[in-house]
Amino acid sequence: MGVNPAASRKQEAGQPTRMGPWRFVVWFGTVSLLADFVYEGARSITGPLLASLGASALVVGVVTGAGEAAALGLRLISGPLADRTRRFWGLAIGGYALTVVSVPLLGVVGVLWVACALVIAERVGKAVRSPAKDTLLSHATAATGRGRGFAVHEAMDQIGALAGPLLVAGVLALTGGDYGPALGVLAVPGIAVLLLLFWLRARVPDPEAYEREAEAAAALTHQAADGRLPRAFWTYAGFTAATTMGLATFGVLSYHLVERHLLTAAWVPVLYAAAMAVDAVAALATGWLYDRCGPRVLIALPVLTAGVVVLAFTDTVAIAVAGSLVWGAAMGIQESTLRATVADLVPSGRRATAYGLFAGVVGAASLAGGALIGGLYGYSIPALITVVVVIQVLAVVLLAVTRTGRP
């Protein structure tokens, strides 16, 4: 039996919004803070964990790339589903639940293929929740300023991304490198994520009430009437795919650091935490600039992406560490300002679908990029750098076309 979108919307809007838009952004940021505590704590040691189970650099690259592809590509389903059913809160809660269950289990398995499956399962949880979550957030940021709202959310996100890896590093140091307890303690913030989500849904059942977009809807009616997304959206998705393809996963970066004996496994989460701090600063800076200057600020992303491979794959500790910090800055832009731009390009009624399609395009690039960078790493690092730089030049061209095509 089909779901009546109007009835679902009415059901979710059964109580009035009782929280200002900035408070909603901050509380939703707290949810993400706790969730990042869980899954970024796990991701900070994915490379060394898989290597300890016998994985090669190629396997780490493919698995982490496949995980990102799942986190992005499956939004092709979850995005349209969210728009069709309007059950944004339900999808967000379900996705978070899958993530916070998968991570503690990752610490107790001892078989490579099971660990790989759990790494991907954690990312599937992100795929289920993200279009719905981003749409909920986009309604509040219509009132706060899209760049600033997404930036504050991302900065709070990264507090958890900083604390989680540090806790994991501490537990690894205390237990002599035992991954089980290090990942098991992450179940506590995972429970808090779900409790806070249910409370926030009760307080703000219909976040779309924040968005007052009569003028924007009138301007975009001709784009939404036939159900098609704006041409600029597709060009923009191409730009993001190009930058994503060239951005190495932290799994490969950490693999390089440990296998070349530049850092011990216990220090890798500390470096990841530092990269997440840089992530937060980059998100705030580019978010505020985006509200003032528009998408031209995104030129920083291909520059940073190229810088990662130039710096991170050296055999000098300081330079390789600097490359990981540059990676953090690139992630900050990717996780905040890129999402804000989608909300500005697409009207509200098609926004979750747009986020899903956008992520699907980027997911394909993530999978290709993980395999490409993992494979080239084992073949020739100079060739890896050359290929990534060429891809980023293409990304700059696509960004220029997107700017001229924006409504």
pLDDT digits (tens, 9 = 90+) for 331-360: 888 877 887 888 878 877 788 888 888 877
> In Å, how far are 83, 231, 333 from 341, measured between CA atoms?
19, 14, 11
Question: For the ranges 37-41, 51-55, 277-281, which has the lowest average pLDDT?
Answer: 51-55
Q: Which pLDDT does position 244 carry in this prediction?
A: 87
Give residue-wise pLDDT tens across range 226-238.
Answer: 457 778 888 888 8
Region 202-214: mean pLDDT is 75
| pLDDT grade for 222, boundaries at 50, 70 and 90 | very low
Region 247-258: mean pLDDT is 83
- Round the average pLDDT of the chain to a whole number and report it: 81
Give residue-wise pLDDT tens across range 17-35.
Answer: 567 888 998 999 999 999 9
Region 297-326: mean pLDDT is 90
Span between the terminal Cα atoms of the chain, in Å:
38
Q: Looking at the predicted structure, is the pLDDT value of residue 403 above 70? A: no
Question: For the ranges 12-16, 42-46, 167-171, which has the lowest average pLDDT?
Answer: 12-16
| pLDDT grade for 220, boundaries at 50, 70 and 90 | very low
Q: Which pLDDT does position 3 carry in this prediction?
A: 42
Residues in the chain: 407
Q: Looking at the predicted structure, is the pLDDT value of residue 177 above 60? A: yes
Q: Which pLDDT does position 212 carry in this prediction?
A: 56
Q: How many angstroms separate the CA atoms of 95 and 296, rounded?
A: 33
From the list 80, 85, 83, the residue with the least C-alpha distance to 3 is: 85
Region 167-182: mean pLDDT is 86
Q: Looking at the predicted structure, is the pLDDT value of residue 277 above 90? A: no
How many other CB atoms are found less than 10 A from the CB of residue 148?
Answer: 20
Q: Name 2's Cβ contacts closer than 8 Å, sequence gap at least 6.
A: none
Cβ distance 207 to 17 under 8 Å?
A: yes
